[in-house]
Amino acid sequence: MSRNDWFEEFLRARISRESHAFDTEQAWNRLQQRRRKRKPRLAILLWCCGLLIAGAGFRQWILRDAPATQVFRPAGGEHAAAEYSHAHAKEPAKPFAGTQRPEQATVNSTALENAVAETGFKNIVNHIETAHHSIAGKPDLQYNISSAGISGAAVVEVPEVTTNELPEKTERQGFMMPPSISLLPSITPPGAQPEKQAPPFFEFEDKNTAAFRKRRKRSRWQAGVTLGYGLQRVDRASGNSAWLAGRDDEEALDAISAGLLVRRHIGDRWFLQSGVNWLRLTDRRRFSSESTTTASQPNQLVQVIVHADGSEEKVFGDAPVTTVTRTEGVRYNRYERLELPLLAGVDILPGLSASAGLAWGIWSRSSGYVAGPDPGQETPVSELGYRKGGLVSGLLQIEYSLPLPGGALGLGLQGRKDLLNNAGRDAGFEERRGALGIAISYRRMLR
């Protein structure tokens, strides 16, 4: 027994397993208080969560219905700006008294809105003029608009019309709005800074994600295993169509992969990933073959003699018999590769990462057969120059990482595509295979 073990034994013996001087009654009372406190706190927390969600929903609803606020700068004054709110412009026009025509007023207010949105402040003035003419139709409704005079120091007042009558005469430094339009100008002082955007209402980060981030910061190296399953696609478009004849009975099935990975974070968000990956691609081949054999068989009907009285005489003897045998079945062709992938990735959101890179094929093997040049013949796929497998493949992966104690479980989508093939020189074309599927991985933090 080493000295350290002896020391541990000593500590275990020295520190008692039970506390003797311990007031259980007082501790029990404290526990009861703690438990009583806890329930309302939980209820309050739930209420707050509910209120937050409701508030956020209400805010979204308000923002969806609220009109946009636009800022216009009058052409006459460089430093002047008037903030125009559409909010009240959308209110329906109030009925006018006497000979006024509210329909026209509404139409013109809409036109004003459009003009505001399209051309700016000068058009506001023009449309206000038009609107006044069309609403009142009276020469006694006078106004005084000095658009060129509006500057940073200009005071623009807007009469608030609450009755059914328009003011008979309004002379101001600014201009007057028709009742259906409420202009709420605010002059921005010269040299004023634009309003800063408010910070987001709240930011939420999952507790597990935060813990995972913390752990990840502690250890930049991760190692683990990965498994993938996907559906594959074969691209043969670059080849000579003559080579493709008779290949239609082949169907690309799935792609299974397994590998070891090592990941190294090179910053807060970026990482490199490598390892070794084994990949197996499977094709399904439905084949049918016919064979014809002719052999002389004894006791075959070779002749029928019909006599004059109508009777028939059958003659049996040796005769050649042709037999056609048709064979149908399903076979699977498999292509296996060993690759060295190298990916660069980035954490897009907490727990969500995307990575892309290349995989170099270092070994490949194929098994199975394809239809040969002659009917009934088969050629091993290992002899096919166009199926030597990918030399370099492109990889793309989007992964969601679920933090676990000491590691992380990743679940993601991954895609791959052969970029370069090591097809034989005599091959008439080459196959490039791609696959899209899901991948699950488990990574452990390394020191």
Binding site for another protein (CB under 8 A): 4, 7-8, 10-12, 14-20, 22, 24, 27-28, 30-31, 34-35, 38, 211, 215, 218-219, 405-406, 445-447
In the bound state with another protein, the residue whose beta carbon lies nearer, of 119 and 208, is 208
In the bound state with another protein, the residue whose beta carbon lies nearer, of 35 and 425, is 35
In the bound state with another protein, the residue whose beta carbon lies nearer, of 35 and 64, is 35
Dmax over CA atoms of the chain, in Å, equals 135
One-letter amino acid of 415: G
CA angle 288, 293, 298 (to 5 degrees): 140
In the bound state with another protein, the residue whose beta carbon lies nearer, of 31 and 53, is 31
| Among 255, 279, 237, CA closest to 432 | 237
Shortest Cβ 261–another protein spacing (Å): 17
Backbone angles phi, psi at 247, to 5 degrees: -95, 0
Shortest Cβ 446–another protein spacing (Å): 6
CA distance 67 to 243: 64
In the bound state with another protein, the residue whose beta carbon lies nearer, of 22 and 202, is 22
Shortest Cβ 409–another protein spacing (Å): 14
Shortest Cβ 396–another protein spacing (Å): 30
Cβ atoms of 157 and 185 closer than 8 Å: no
Shortest Cβ 402–another protein spacing (Å): 14
Q: Per the structure block, which two tokens stand in for 412?
A: 């993601």
Shortest Cβ 39–another protein spacing (Å): 11
Q: Per the structure block, which two tokens stand in for 418?
A: 């052969």
In the bound state with another protein, the residue whose beta carbon lies nearer, of 133 and 220, is 220
Shortest Cβ 207–another protein spacing (Å): 10
Shortest Cβ 57–another protein spacing (Å): 31
| Among 255, 249, 317, CA closest to 287 | 249
CA distance 218 to 268: 11
Shortest Cβ 27–another protein spacing (Å): 6
Cβ atoms of 114 and 84 closer than 8 Å: no
In the bound state with another protein, the residue whose beta carbon lies nearer, of 42 and 319, is 42
In the bound state with another protein, the residue whose beta carbon lies nearer, of 55 and 406, is 406
Shortest Cβ 335–another protein spacing (Å): 38
DSSP 234-245: EE-TTS-HHHHT
Helix (H) or strand (E) holding 414, with range, is: strand 407-421
How far is residue 233 from each of residues 162, 308, 432, measured CA to CA in Å? Answer: 71, 72, 8
One-letter amino acid of 196: K
Region label for 202, one of left (φ > 0), alpha (ψ between -120 and 50) or beta (otherwise): beta
Backbone angles phi, psi at 146, to 5 degrees: -125, 85
In the bound state with another protein, the residue whose beta carbon lies nearer, of 15 and 68, is 15
Shortest Cβ 6–another protein spacing (Å): 9
The residue with tokens 């028709």 is: 178
Cβ atoms of 343 and 355 closer than 8 Å: yes
Rounded (10°) angle between helices 121-136 and 102-118: 170
Q: Which regions of 218-351 does DSSP assign to beta strands (E)?
A: 221-235, 250-265, 270-306, 312-349
One-letter amino acid of 76: G
| Among 183, 186, 176, 119, CA closest to 154 | 186
In the bound state with another protein, the residue whose beta carbon lies nearer, of 12 and 286, is 12
CA distance 338 to 336: 7
In the bound state with another protein, the residue whose beta carbon lies nearer, of 20 and 425, is 20
